[in-house]
Amino acid sequence: MTNKQTVPTPLPETAALVPIGAVERDTGLSKDVLRMWERRYHFPLPQRDAHGERVYPPDQVTKLRALKRLMDQGHRPGKIIGMTLEDLVALNVDRAAALRTRDRDVDEVLQLIGDHRLPELRQRLNQLLLSKGLQRFVVEIVKPLNVEVGEAWSRGDLAIFEEHLYAEQIQSLLRYAISSVQARGNPPHVLLTSFPMEQHCLGLLMAESMLVVEGVTCIALGTETPVPDIVRAASAHGADIVALSFSAAYPERQAVAGLRELRALLPVETALWVGGSGVSCHRRPLDGVVVVEDIEHIASLVADWRTVHRGNVHAAD
């Protein structure tokens, strides 16, 4: 079987050199940006292959990934592009340390993920869900676990496939729990989704989990719904609230532009809630957009909504 042989490549040079298209996919930085940075900051400085095309050494790709991650957290490229990988990682860790909750259950689950003990992982998560209840499970286990897993991945302590497997288990469990709590059409009706290019579905499921327990009726569209479709869906399903999730990686400009557009197209009486790790750093609030700073606040926000709309509810038509 001698076909292809891209193979782990014992060769030190041509070994793992990555073409620009692959770097774009890997890091989420567009080809335009990669070439522009090279022009402006002299980093990255890829080698060239026989055709004069850029090929990036793996360590530069690693640094690019770290840069992207920090930029998603609000750092500007010019300030950090000159730093060493170590400094970048340190920056990351500093921020992470603040968020870290040293919870024994969380640590134990992390251990199971890293050890690939799938049956035990499933069982432990299930058990935690049952013992804590859905809302506390989401707040005390899933939320910190997401942070930890993300950090471990960026440190290189956790492989992509381990993170995937974790996400898949949580997803199954949350969906299972959600379908067990069959809503009966009670108000408010909440439309849950995200903007195009925002693929993280765990945040949506966490929100849905919090909501269904409150007796809210959820219409989950999954991720990546274009703005006009969100409007049509809200109208078709008589949504009282449209809830959107943003991850840290979502470009702020796009978010603000999309939210403004959506807010303009949505009826005034329809509320617009936004949540997720991508919203905490937003400085100026937008008119008519409710920012859910922490997923824990969902319950009280629902209570507030119900107080305001007491009486004039459109009670399941």
Binding site for DNA (CB under 7 A): 19-21, 30-33, 35-37, 39-40, 51-54, 71, 76-79, 251-253, 256-257
Query: Residue 267 touches which of DNA, a copy of itself, none (CB < 5 to 8 A by kind)?
Result: none
Q: Give, as one character, the DSSP assignment of residue 286.
A: P
Longest dimension (CA), the chain: 74
Query: Residue 244 touches which of DNA, a copy of itself, none (CB < 5 to 8 A by kind)?
Result: none
Among 53, 176, 294, 300, binds a copy of itself (CB under 8 A): 176
CB of 227 to a copy of itself, least distance (A): 9
Query: Residue 71 touches which of DNA, a copy of itself, none (CB < 5 to 8 A by kind)?
Result: DNA
How far is residue 72 from each of residues 93, 278, 280, measured CA to CA in Å? Answer: 15, 8, 12
Q: Which long-range contacts (CB under 8 A, 24 or more apart) does 158-162 make?
A: 158/113, 158/114, 162/113, 162/114, 162/116
| Tally of CA atoms within 13 A in the half-sphere of 279 that contains its CB | 22
- Token pair recorded at residue 129: 């869900």
Q: Which is nearer to DNA, 14 or 30 (CB)?
A: 30
CB of 97 to a copy of itself, least distance (A): 27
Among 27, 60, 154, 225, binds a copy of itself (CB under 8 A): 225
CB count in 10 Å sphere of residue 30: 12
Structure-token match 């900051």, residue found: 41
Query: Residue 264 touches which of DNA, a copy of itself, none (CB < 5 to 8 A by kind)?
Result: a copy of itself
120 binds a copy of itself (CB under 8 A): no
Q: Give, as one character, the DSSP assignment of residue 297.
A: G
34 binds a copy of itself (CB under 8 A): no
Site mask, a copy of itself, residues 156-175, x = CB under 8 A?
Answer: ---xxxx-xx-xx--xxx-x
Strands across the sheet containing 18-19: 18-19, 54-56, 47-48
DSSP E strands in the chain: the ranges are: 18-19, 47-48, 54-56, 189-193, 217-220, 241-245, 271-275, 290-291
196 binds a copy of itself (CB under 8 A): yes
Residues 237-276 that bind a copy of itself (CB under 8 A): 237, 260-261, 263-265, 268
Structure-token match 């609030």, residue found: 285
- Token pair recorded at residue 78: 């010019």
CB of 225 to a copy of itself, least distance (A): 6
CB of 143 to DNA, least distance (A): 26
- b/e per residue 43-57 (b: at least 16 CB within 10 A): ebebeeeeeeebbbb
CB count in 10 Å sphere of residue 192: 24
Query: Residue 77 touches which of DNA, a copy of itself, none (CB < 5 to 8 A by kind)?
Result: DNA
| Strand, coil or helix: 212 | helix
Q: Which is nearer to a copy of itself, 38 or 120 (CB)?
A: 120
- Residues interacting with a copy of itself, by CB under 8 A? 1, 3-8, 25, 116, 118-119, 159-162, 164-165, 167-168, 171-173, 175-176, 178-179, 185, 193, 196-197, 199, 219-222, 224-226, 228-230, 232-233, 235-237, 260-261, 263-265, 268, 287-288
